[in-house]
A and B are shown apart, each in its own frame.
Chain A
Amino acid sequence: MATDAATTQLGADLGLTRADLIEMYRLIAITRAIDERMWILNRAGKIPFVISGQGHEGAQVGLAYSLRKGHDWMVPYYRSVASLITFGMHPREIMIAQFAKGVDPSSGGRQMPGHYGVKDRNILSVSSPVTTQVLHATGIALAAKLRKTDQVAITYTGEGSSNQGDFFEALNFAGIHKLPVVFVVENNGYAISVPMSMQSSVPDIAMRGEGFGMPGVIVDGADVLDCYRTGKEAIDRARRGDGPTLIEAKVTRMTAHSSDDQQTKYRTAEDLQAGQERDPLPRFREELRQAGVLDEATEAKLLAESKVVVEDATDWAESQSDPDPATAQRHVYADAPPARMDDPFWQTERFIGDGGPTSRGGAS
């Protein structure tokens, strides 16, 4: 058992208080609880699709914890729930995206689950073509630099995405201009079914940083405090104007790629078991217990709170209305189509609507 003297020291060298440590643990635990609920809802037939971040949460919370909420920019990907909750998204906002209801702030029910985005918190909307967002984060950082806003942009991809051309183009440009951007690769070893050995001839994505004039840092994604330290160094470095950092967090994908995937088809039982053992949640819990940060009462309180939050988010999200189909034409352009603005829909609507043209008109 750690002594009292030691317990006061955990995280102190990083400037973290006991309250910070408990908050980081809470963010990981709540994200896990939300994620597990998504799968239950999917298996119960209530939501058609889940894409999961189980196993990534420790890295996500640690790396994002020193961002300035409402000031910096987060450009996430589809496994980023823990990053997003750390950066200010509410569990209700995460859960309503699963149900795709009308008041979903990410997309109003237009996008699949996992495609989050909230403008008032500087969280950019996610799309499905992977890696496009890495260039958006680079552009956001370019604007931050030119406008002198003191903002940092952080963006996330999987290691699968890191093979797309956009990844290299983004690192290259960010390196040239020393842009205030942090590139995070959450390497869970699989691009859906394709293992790292078939994705890259070298074991680490981080070494690509050197080729673009930036540090490439590897961090154990289950080591939450090391992720915090790594994230803070990169964010501080970016804010100082010293340029971008590439961070590769080695994480584990504890679920299938998505609810439409069966990972036992391409992963061995041993590999799956080893993956479960790299779960950041029990590791961080044990670390905090050993340090005396997390006592039984606190744990019980967090567990109870987590249940309430998940219940609330689920019940609230499920009870919201579906979007009105009449709104599906909105937000194609900034302005509503003026009378002379032609869109095929407007052209054909009156024919479709009344069953087609029924008479020769007009010219007679």
Chain B
Amino acid sequence: MAVRTMIDSIRETLADEMRRDETIIVLGEDVGKKGGVFLATDGLYDEFGGDRVIDTPLTESMIIGASIGAAINGLRPVPEIQFADFIMPAFNQIVSEAARMRYRSNGAFSCPITIRAPYGGGVHGALYHSQSVEAFFSHVPGLKVVIPSTPHDARGLLRSSIRDEDPVLFFEHKKMYRSVRGDVPDSDYVVPLGSAKVTREGSQVTLVGYGLMAQYSLEAADILDSDGIRAEVVDVRCLRPLDTATILESVRKTGKCVVVYEDNRFGGYGAEIAAILAEEAFDYLDGPVVRVTGPDVPGVPYNHVLEDWFMPDPERIATAARRLAGY
């Protein structure tokens, strides 16, 4: 057991997996000698060489399209999109191709690739270095979408993603890369895809979040605790497949739920959770399902006052939960 940051955990897991399986390659912009703009691939080029750690041109569609082809012919690519904001040129390759390859070939072809991309705001990244893009991809059958919130889960989920036979989008909140530390076992453990986790037990209200918002929900639970409100926190961890059972179990117990996501409110991923709760837990709810989200503006603005205005934080989550608890 050792204490690791998120970025250390991700980097070490990539290296471990590449040692374990020589068909794994990493490709993306600046992933080679530079080791990635966030240093997620630092050291891989020195250890595994330019054949397996490939600096690409600035061509996101190519990064994913070539990864699909390489996967078809026996490799297990782990492409990096430098910022989730820049994944859009590859949207067609991900949604029309990677997601549908298995279905459209009636199970003949598969596409085992893990697309890593840093996402999220709170780091002065402005409109184009802060986006949350998980809703676009979680909508698509054939894709799996993973967002860890601890170094432990980052490691276990990245292992599961790389070893999975289907395309996985692995989104890493860039604000957490170095700000979050935690114990990471040395063992070859995995966290299965499709398993949420109750990260704090409570009885009066459930806070559901993922990524940075899972961390903020824990901080909000601390605030609520001082008010005498016992909040339970569920870390979604894997957006698709979604572990509805764990969320439903929690909400059926507490009767109240705040869904937290950093993305724009309208049509965001948490709206699906709210819909599932409406369908599956209606008889257990003692109040409306409430969302704490980013506002519906086209991006996270740059100035720190404006950015703070955009970002959900523990206080906002606590405020919403407090109000709901009193409903």
Contact = CB atoms under 8 A, between A and B. Distances in A.
A230 B218 CA distance: 65
Contacts of A139: 65-73, 77
B96 A334 contact: no
A143 B69 contact: yes
A358 B179 CA distance: 50
Kindly state the interface size class of chain A when it binds its partner: 35 or more
B89 A165 contact: yes
B69 A132 contact: no
Q: Considering residues B72, B73, B74, B93, which has the most beta carbons from chain A within 10 angstroms of its beta carbon?
A: B73
A143 B74 contact: yes
Nearest to A170: B62
A69 B110 CA distance: 21
Q: Considering residues B23, B65, B194, B195, which has the most beta carbons from chain A within 10 angstroms of its beta carbon?
A: B65
B298 interface: no
A88 B240 CA distance: 38
Given A135-B93, A342-B242, A342-B244, A140 B72 contact: yes
Interface stretch (B35-43, B123-131, B279-287): B279-287
B313 to A, nearest CB: 29
A306 interface: no
A333 B72 contact: no
B175 interface: no
A173 B72 CA distance: 18
A180 B67 CA distance: 16
A170 to B, nearest CB: 7
A2 interface: no
Nearest to A360: B283
Contact of A144 (B73, B93, B104, B279): B73
B279 A334 contact: no
Given A132-B65, A347-B279, A119 B105 contact: yes
Nearest to A115: B104
B103 A110 contact: yes
Given A143-B75, A176-B57, A338-B194, A117 B105 contact: yes
B108 interface: yes
A166 B91 CA distance: 12
B165 interface: yes
Interface string A140-151: 111110110101
B146 to A, nearest CB: 13
Interface string B28-58: 0000000000000000000000011000110
Given A172-B59, A361-B283, A340 B75 contact: no
Contacts of B276: 342, 347
B108 A332 contact: no
B135 to A, nearest CB: 14
A118 B141 CA distance: 23
Nearest to B73: A143
12 contacts: A110-B106, A115-B104, A119-B108, A127-B104, A136-B69, A139-B70, A149-B73, A169-B61, A169-B65, A333-B144, A333-B166, A347-B280
Interface of B: 23, 25, 51-52, 56-57, 59, 61-62, 64-75, 77, 89, 92-93, 96-97, 100-110, 141-142, 144, 164-166, 194-195, 240-246, 276, 279-280, 283-284
Which are the 6 A-B pairs with shortest beta-carbon distances?
A139-B69, A135-B65, A108-B106, A363-B283, A143-B73, A139-B66
